[in-house]
Amino acid sequence: MAKTVKSRIKRSAADHIVDTILVIFMILLGIVMLYPMWYELVVSISDATKLIKHRGIQLWPLGFDTIAYRLVFKYPQLLEGYKNTLIILVLGLVVNIVLTSLGAYCLTRTSCKFHRFMTLFVLVTMYFSGGLIPLYLTVRGVGLYNTIWAVIIPTALSTYNMIILRSAFSSIPESLVESVFIDGGGHWTVLFKIFIPLSLPAMAVQILYYGVGHWNSWFNAFIYIPDVHKQPVQLVLRKLLISGSNIDMGAETANIPNYEMMAKSMKAAMVIVTTVPILAIYPLLQRYFVGGMMIGSLKE
């Protein structure tokens, strides 16, 4: 039936021209978005002596050398940064998902007292905040300063993500909720056995949003965690990128010729090393992403 309907649709020459223009535009847009990552990759495996003489666009490696990766993995703070990032990622995701699910569920219960007031109260936080200085003083005042909780608690709940999840919860028929209450179940049963299992695409979107946010975050750690042994990998990357040719690798660089020329390759290798893990996880959640966003944005 679908093929029959499609065959009856006649496309004009203008339609084909528009399609061609859109395809060309998307190809160019894809190139613009992918080139920076490709550039970092080819720079990271290029010969440093050839790379230092090159100017302009670079599409292919200049020679082949993996010494930049060997040095990066021996960088003193890299493994510590990865460990701290994984701890922040796991603990942060648990806190984020639990609080977001509870908040979204509460917003779907219109029978609760002060439901309208609480909804407006939550929405206000999307547009107004106390600012950086009050937040900094609060973090210090409650004893979170120089701990990993300083980058987890202040970002524990995103109003935008909670509204997306609330919309997904609201799309579930109320008859299912009523049947649970009739059978003697409670709100916890409704949340964990009805809402969350039936909202897996939206939950995957939450994990993706919060996970990418934790992985890429460096500013909060820069403000709240002065201890270098507790800083995440993105802050380690920032320090490496701004250190120029004065990258301190200790005794590892003593016998390496032309070490000063390798700063560019090492920076590129560090970018690849800190980016690949999140790129590898993204395809696993991609199939849920469109469905979760559509549910969160269209259904109320």
The whole-angstrom separation of Cα 164 and Cα 154 is: 20
Q: Is pTM, for the whole model, over 0.85?
A: no
Tell me the two tokens of residue 257.
């010729």
The whole-angstrom separation of Cα 117 and Cα 65 is: 62
Q: How confident is the model over 109-116, as a mean pLDDT? A: 79
Q: What is the pLDDT of residue 98?
A: 93
Q: What is the pLDDT of residue 298?
A: 45
The whole-angstrom separation of Cα 294 and Cα 167 is: 10
Rg (CA), the chain: 25
pLDDT digits (tens, 9 = 90+) for 241-285: 776 555 555 545 545 555 556 777 788 888 888 888 888 777 776
Residue 73: pLDDT band (50, 70, 90) is: confident
The whole-angstrom separation of Cα 5 and Cα 2 is: 5
Query: Comparing 300 with 199, which gets the higher pLDDT?
Result: 199
Neighbours of 103 (CB within 10 A): 19
Q: What is the pLDDT of residue 23?
A: 93
Domain boundaries, the chain: 69-300
Q: What is the pLDDT of residue 240?
A: 78
How far apart, in Å, are the Cα atoms of 285 and each of 41, 201, 204, 206?
24, 9, 6, 10
Question: Contact 68/262 with Cβ under 8 angstroms?
Answer: yes
Q: What is the pLDDT of residue 96?
A: 94
Q: How confident is the model over 150-175, as a mean pLDDT? A: 88
Query: Comparing 145 with 257, which gets the higher pLDDT?
Result: 145
Neighbours of 287 (CB within 10 A): 11
The whole-angstrom separation of Cα 79 and Cα 224 is: 20
**Class of domain 69-300 (CATH, top level):** mainly alpha
For the chain, give the mean pLDDT.
81
Q: What is the pLDDT of residue 27?
A: 93
Tell me the two tokens of residue 47.
């010969």
How far apart, in Å, are the Cα atoms of 62 and each of 45, 52, 256?
8, 10, 19
Residue 7: pLDDT band (50, 70, 90) is: low
Q: What is the pLDDT of residue 217?
A: 86
